[in-house]
């Protein structure tokens, strides 16, 4: 910069070998006025740049994701009173074909919704795939669709059987119906 006018002088490619750079043999004066040098760099996608003097700092904030879902019940509105007051939703992650448990969350009957926030999107440069599961609920069949859970319970059924008897002296007056 000379007299408030900034002009690009040169550029240099900096590589991962050591991330250092140096500009040599730069003129100190232009038309009798001292030149003030500054540095800058092209934006690096996904990074925030900070220039301090002649040093550059690139900061990366990892991308985050959320996983949210709803628990629904298919049990004839809890007809048999078997539905629990709470369940445990399990969050799993899969990276490179390996699935591991991340955490679990208790979800109560007050609100059958759940959410896991601030989850990293990548691990070692690979995108993480999240999935949910739940601790088994006795008597219920589980169905997972995306991040939603559905538990189905078939209400219990009973059979009633009996025998009809007639107290009419073996239909002595012929009044007994055929059906």
Residues 71, 135, single domain; the answer is yes
Separation of alpha carbons 38 and 13, rounded Å: 16
Separation of alpha carbons 53 and 23, rounded Å: 14
Domain that holds residue 133: 64-152
What b/e string do you get for 138-165 counting C-beta neighbours within 10 Å, with b at 16 or more? Answer: eebeeeeeebebebebeeeeeeeeeeee
Mean pLDDT to the nearest integer, 76-99: 96
Residues 57, 92, single domain; the answer is no
Give a yes or no: residue 95 inside a domain: yes
Residues 85, 131, single domain; the answer is yes
Residues 72, 135, single domain; the answer is yes
Residues 85, 138, single domain; the answer is yes
Confidence label for 4 from pLDDT (cuts 50, 70 and 90): confident
Q: What is the pLDDT of residues 108-154, one digit of tens each?
A: 999 999 999 999 999 999 999 999 999 999 999 999 999 999 999 98
Confidence label for 157 from pLDDT (cuts 50, 70 and 90): confident
In the three-class reduction of DSSP (H, G, I as helix; E, B as strand; rest coil), residue 175 is classed as: coil
Which range is least confidently modeled, 5-9, 30-34, 112-116, 163-167? 5-9
Tokens 């690979």 correspond to what residue?
Answer: 126
Task: State which of 21, 46, 61 marks the end of a domain.
Answer: 61
Q: What is the pTM of this model?
A: 0.68
């Amino acid at each position: 910069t000379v007299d408030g006018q900034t002009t690009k002088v040169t550029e240099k490619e900096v590589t991962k070998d050591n991330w250092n750079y140096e500009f040599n043999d730069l003129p100190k004066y232009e038309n009798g006025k001292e030149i003030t040098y500054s540095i800058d760099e092209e934006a690096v996608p996904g990074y925030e740049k900070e220039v301090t003097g002649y040093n550059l700092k690139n900061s990366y904030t990892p991308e985050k994701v959320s996983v949210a879902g709803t628990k629904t019940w298919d049990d004839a509105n809890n007809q048999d009173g078997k539905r629990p007051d709470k369940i445990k939703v399990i969050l799993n992650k899969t990276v490179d074909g390996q699935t591991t448990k991340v955490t679990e969350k208790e979800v109560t009957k007050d609100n059958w919704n759940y959410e896991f926030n601030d989850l990293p999107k990548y691990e070692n440069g690979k995108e993480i795939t999240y999935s949910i599961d739940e601790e088994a609920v006795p008597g219920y069949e589980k169905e997972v669709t995306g991040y939603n859970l559905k538990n189905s319970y078939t209400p219990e059924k009973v059979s009633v059987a009996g025998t009809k008897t007639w107290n009419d002296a073996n239909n002595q007056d012929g009044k007994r119906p055929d059906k």
